[in-house]
């Protein structure tokens, strides 16, 4: 399997090389040169996520250094449940709960898989590997948890000061050791820009072996596709129909994983992106004009992205706007609609939703009657206990905190405050 840069097909890498580099030398993002094709019959008759993940990922790792260790990596990374919960609706709708990992968010899948890969690749290196990660809330905590205390690897987490929930910030800053947490005076887009600038700066590259754990790293996207493999196969085997998804979306890594799974041949139909009031992508889908902008702060803070990196991959896959809008669609949801949907889901479905999952629930209600006649899956990206300030007043009760999350919330805070300037990040790296 060869990977190429989105900006130049002659810039190529193996999967292991792409995992280590994070971003291509020309600033592009790695994508498969060609996607493998798999049929439903190629997958084992099981709901076991590691087994299905190995069947899906094996063609991507064929001939790679990590191919012989792939089974162990997925077994180690995906050691928590991934329930597909049928909802009490008149139609066939389910909730894909991706928040049962150690940091109670879907980012645990990609972060733990990437950590397992990089730890094995780095075993023979004498240099410290520095992982840079920008986060709008959940990514940084998942990456920190996955890499904490792994020898030969350090992680620098950049998050926008005051623009993540208090519990998210506690998860981002509780680590110490080989994790450095930086509170940036700016937005998530500023954090993401700093990561890209650091990769492009020759003085940083001369002194540091860098990689990224954002969804710009293909090692985050491939494992995320695995829960779409599992849930689409389960739906197809139960109903004989394609599974349709509503995916809360910010930097577009999660939805791109779903698109890639469909491209490989999984039984997936419609893919609808649910956005908050950051309308960059929905405006592009409506107009065909790509106009990134500053991000807005919303209740669904992990989706507060004004210039999503993975749009470069999505547009590379579908370079013509007319083709792209036939492959995915998107809708934006306001803060007031998020609040109303959290209340409605609690009352009618007996489901407590986080603000991001509430965006998916709201989008579902906007589908046509003909659309809702198909099987739909709402992707639940984070546990509601991570957002008590928003959720608890709306549902009228405390939200129980998962034990793994409670342990992290009890640890002391360790944080470095920096400006949104490359010089400030370079000072941390020094």
Please check whether residue 331 is in contact with residue 358, taking contact to mean a CB–CB distance below 8 angstroms.
Answer: no
CATH assignment at residue 281: 3.40.50.1100
Dump pLDDT digits (tens) for 204-259: 878 888 888 888 899 999 999 999 999 999 999 999 999 999 999 999 999 999 99
Q: Is residue 4 one of the residues assigned to a domain?
A: no
The secondary structure of residue 348, as a DSSP letter, is I
C-alpha to C-alpha distances, 178 to 86, 319, 412, nearest whole angstrom: 41, 40, 15
Distance separating alpha carbons of residues 230 and 226, to the nearest angstrom? 6
Please check whether residue 172 is in contact with residue 157, taking contact to mean a CB–CB distance below 8 angstroms.
Answer: yes
Share of the chain above pLDDT 90, in %: 83
- Tell me, what's the pLDDT at 383? 95
Domain count, the chain: 1
Q: Is residue 200 one of the residues assigned to a domain?
A: no
pTM: predicted TM-score of the whole model, two decimal places: 0.92
Length of the chain: 430
Q: Is residue 283 one of the residues assigned to a domain?
A: yes
Q: Is residue 421 one of the residues assigned to a domain?
A: no
Cα of 120 vs its chain's centroid, Å: 22
Dihedral angle, C-alpha 45, 48, 51, 53, nearest 10 °: 110
Strand order in the sheet with 8-13: 8-13, 3-5, 30-32
Share of the chain above pLDDT 70, in %: 100
Dump pLDDT digits (tens) for 407-420: 888 999 999 999 99
Q: Is residue 165 one of the residues assigned to a domain?
A: no
Confidence band (pLDDT; 50, 70, 90) for 337? very high
Q: Is residue 416 one of the residues assigned to a domain?
A: no
- Tell me, what's the pLDDT at 96? 98
Phi, psi of 168 (to 5 degrees): -60, -45
Please check whether residue 132 is in contact with residue 210, taking contact to mean a CB–CB distance below 8 angstroms.
Answer: yes
Domain of 242, in residue numbers: 81-103+219-397
The secondary structure of residue 382, as a DSSP letter, is B
Please check whether residue 123 is in contact with residue 129, taking contact to mean a CB–CB distance below 8 angstroms.
Answer: no
Q: Is residue 308 one of the residues assigned to a domain?
A: yes
DSSP lists the bridge partners of residue 95 as 85, 378
Distance separating alpha carbons of residues 70 and 75, to the nearest angstrom? 9
Confidence band (pLDDT; 50, 70, 90) for 122? confident
Q: Is residue 186 one of the residues assigned to a domain?
A: no
């Amino acid at each position: 399997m060869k990977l190429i840069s989105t900006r130049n097909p002659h810039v190529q890498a193996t999967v292991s090389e792409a995992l280590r580099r994070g971003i291509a030398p020309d600033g592009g993002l790695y994508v498969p040169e060609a996607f493998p094709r798999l049929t439903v019959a190629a997958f084992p008759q099981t709901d076991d996520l590691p087994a299905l993940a190995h069947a899906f990922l094996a063609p991507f790792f064929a001939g790679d250094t990590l191919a012989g260790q792939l089974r162990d990596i997925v077994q180690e990374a995906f050691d928590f449940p991934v329930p597909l919960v049928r909802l009490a609706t008149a139609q066939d709708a389910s909730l894909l709960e991706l928040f049962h990992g150690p940091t109670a968010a879907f980012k645990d899948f990609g972060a733990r898989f990437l950590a397992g890969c990089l730890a094995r690749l780095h075993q023979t290196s004498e240099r410290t590997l520095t992982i840079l990660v920008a986060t709008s809330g959940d990514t940084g905590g998942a990456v920190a948890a996955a890499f904490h205390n792994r020898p030969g690897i350090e992680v620098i987490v950049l998050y926008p000061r005051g623009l993540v929930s208090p519990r998210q910030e506690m998860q981002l800053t509780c680590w110490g050791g080989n994790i450095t947490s930086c509170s940036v005076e700016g937005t998530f887009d500023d954090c993401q820009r700093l990561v890209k600038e650091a990769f492009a700066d020759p003085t940083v590259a001369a002194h540091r072996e860098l990689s990224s754990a954002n969804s710009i790293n293909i090692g985050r996207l491939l494992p995320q596709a695995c829960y779409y493999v599992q849930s689409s196969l389960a739906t197809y085997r139960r109903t004989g129909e394609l599974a349709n998804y509503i995916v809360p979306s910010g930097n577009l890594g999660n939805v791109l994983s779903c698109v890639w799974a469909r491209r490989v041949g999984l039984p997936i139909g419609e893919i609808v992106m649910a956005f908050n009031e950051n309308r960059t992508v929905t405006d592009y889908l409506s107009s065909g004009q790509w106009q990134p902008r500053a991000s807005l702060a919303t209740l669904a803070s992990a989706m507060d992205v004004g210039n999503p990196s993975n749009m470069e991959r999505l547009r590379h896959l579908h370079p013509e706007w007319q083709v792209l809008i036939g492959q995915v669609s998107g809708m934006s949801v306001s803060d007031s609609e998020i609040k109303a949907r959290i209340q409605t889901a609690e009352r009618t479905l007996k489901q407590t939703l986080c603000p991001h999952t509430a965006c998916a629930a709201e989008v579902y209600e906007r589908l046509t009657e003909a659309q809702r006649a198909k099987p739909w899956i709402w992707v639940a990206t984070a546990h509601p206990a991570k957002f008590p300030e928003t959720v608890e007043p709306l549902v009228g009760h405390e939200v129980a905190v998962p034990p793994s999350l409670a342990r992290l919330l009890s640890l002391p805070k360790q944080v470095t405050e920096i400006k949104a300037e490359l010089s400030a990040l370079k000072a941390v790296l020094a």
